[in-house]
Amino acid sequence: MGTASYQDRIVTAFTACAMFWAVLGMLAGVYVAAELVWPTINFGQPALSFGRVRTLHTTLVLFGFGVSALIGTAFYSVQRTSHVRLFAPGLAWFVFYAWQLAIVLGGCSILAGWNSGKEYAELEWPFDLAIAVAWVAFAIVFFGTIARRRMESIYISNWFYGALIIVVAMLHIVNSLAMPATLGKSYSLFAGAQDAVVQWWYGHNAVGFLLTGGFLGMLYYFLPKHAEQPIWSYRLSIVSFWAFVYTYIWAGPHHLHYHAIPEWVQSLGMVMSLILLAPSWATMVNGIMTVSAASQKLRTDPALKFIVLSLAFYGLATFEGPMLAIKSVNVFSHFTEWTIGHVHSGALGWNALITFGTFYFLVPRLAGVPLYSARLANVHFWLALAGVMLYVLAMWGAGVSQGVLWLSLDELGEVRFSFNDVMAAMKPYYLLRFVAGLVFLVGAMLMAVNLARTFAGRRTIEVAPPGSRVGAGGRT
Stretch 46-75: interaction string toward other proteins, x if CB under 8 A:
x--xxxx-xx--------------------
Amino acid identity, position 196: A
Cβ distance to other proteins smaller for residue 149 or 305: 149
DSSP for 106-134, please give it. HHHHHHTT---S-TT--S-HHHHHHHHHH
For the CB of residue 110, give the shortest distance to other proteins in the complex, in Å. Answer: 9
Q: Taking CB under 8 A as the criterion, which residues in 418-437 touch other proteins?
A: 419-420, 423-424, 430
Measured between alpha carbons, how far is 162 from 146 in angstroms, rounded to an integer? 10
The DSSP secondary structure of 387-418, one letter per residue, reads HHHHHHHHHHHHHHHHHHHHH-B-TTSSBSS-
What would the x/- binding string for other proteins be over residues 256 to 275, using CB under 8 A? x-xxxxx--x--xx--x---
Site string for other proteins, 139-158 (x = CB under 8 A): ----x--xx----xxx----
Residues 346-405 that bind other proteins (CB under 8 A): 402
In terms of CB distance, is 198 or 385 closer to other proteins? 198
Q: Which of residues 96-115 bind other proteins (CB under 8 A)?
A: 113-115
206 versus 304: smaller Cβ distance to other proteins: 206
Q: Which of residues 205-264 bind other proteins (CB under 8 A)?
A: 209, 234-235, 238-239, 242, 245-250, 252-253, 255-256, 258-262
Least CB distance to other proteins at residue 27 (A):
18
Shortest reach from residue 396's CB to other proteins, in Å: 15
d(CA 132, CA 128): 6
Q: How far apart are CA 93 and CA 71, in angstroms?
A: 11
Q: What count of other Cβ atoms lies within 10 Å of the Cβ of residue 112?
A: 12
Q: Burial code of 299-337, b = ≥16 C-beta within 10 A, e = fewer?
A: eebbbbbbbbbbbebbbbbbebbbebbbeebbebbbebb
Q: Which of 11, 74, 86, 167 binds other proteins (CB under 8 A)?
A: 167
Residues β-bridged to residue 187: 179
Binding footprint of other proteins, residue count (CB under 8 A): 99
How far CA 387 is from CA of 54, 59, 404, 432, in Å, comes to 19, 21, 26, 10
Of 11, 137, 163, 395, the one binding other proteins (CB under 8 A) is 163
Q: Judged by CB under 8 A, does residue 472 bind other proteins?
A: no
Assess 194 for contact with other proteins (CB under 8 A): yes
Among 225, 319, 406, 471, binds other proteins (CB under 8 A): 406
Q: Does 186 bind other proteins (CB under 8 A)?
A: yes
First to last CA, the chain: 16
Look at the chain and count its residues: 476
